[in-house]
Structure 1
Amino acid sequence: MAERYRVYAPDLPGDAGLSTAPPPRTVTDLMAWLSTVLRGLKDRWLVGHSYGAWIALTYALQFPVAKLSLIDPTDCFTGLKPTYVARALPMLLRPSEPRYKSFIHWETQGLPIDPEWLHLSALATLQPTTRPVKPHRPRTFANLPPTTVVVADRSKAHNPQTLTQQAHSTGATVLHLPQATHHSLPTLHTNELIDALLSQ
């Protein structure tokens, strides 16, 4: 993306990373932080995956955004599957590298996950973090900017068909990655994902 655009990828305050901003405790805090990050930028195109997609969507419904891309978004148009939540709970309640890796292997369904990415992301779950701001699914999409929703057709996080239908109902453009799962997106489908985003 950086070959064609100026790209910013901020660490969310409170997560593992280099951010030193106070962790947001409410949706208002979270939106104020993102407004500060984006201050002075024109023609802002927000791109988010999973929880990051919810943050991007929540912001775009309140503040001016030129374009929005939501990559297999959670809690935006449909809820998480109970089976996904149940499988994630042990990892969230008692984080460990083996639990995290087991969860990722379960969701990615045998796809060849990059071992270095898997190790690094597992270590991040062991770092002291603050509780994330709880997502609330939007009730109205009246102020939705031009939006693309990329659906991972093999995602176990939610029902891809329901996500597709609900996203279509808001007027968003929906694109599909047939072989992708929710957690294989960061490393296995980069070229497909970039092509999908740049086509819009």
Structure 2
Amino acid sequence: MKAFRTSGNKIEGCVDRGICCADIGKAEKHSLSAVTAGASEHRVTMLKIGKLAQQAISAASYLAEKYDAEGTRVSASEIADVRELPRPLVAKVLAQLSLHGITSGITGPTGGYRLARPPHQISLHDIVSIFEPIDIRPMCPFGPNWCGNGPPCPMHDAISAAAEQVDSFLQKQHLGPFCGLKSRSR
């Protein structure tokens, strides 16, 4: 979990890896970030997805930054260096993304990776679903055989709604906003 100070509706600080709504209103609207009011600050919890999926989004977002009509390719080493990720991990993630049609890669000295489709056509769901089973509903707090065998548990509707909101968020958010951005210098 990362915490940020806020000023008005904007979050001050940065997210180096992971997903976080950039404004409190969006966080509250999507009910994906826990926002706790304090005297002068809010605490924001990022959407919890696995580390490998986060790193895949990080790599894909860099490819979205570099996406252009000329088909510019980027090396796994460049992505690893800019995003501060281990090189072997980036190579593994890019290979998986390529197998699933998110990226395309060419080997050799003039090779590299690029997004296989325009960034606005690649949702976070497309990426995350490669690395973790996001379509599986959470288990009932009373055990695996409670809900679905008689009346649902007292938390069934709330848990189902939260799972649907996360799925909807991942489906709606895409890599388009990263187009043309410049990564921060370290």
TM-score range, shorter chain: under 0.3
Using structure 1 for the length normalisation, give the TM-score. Answer: 0.23
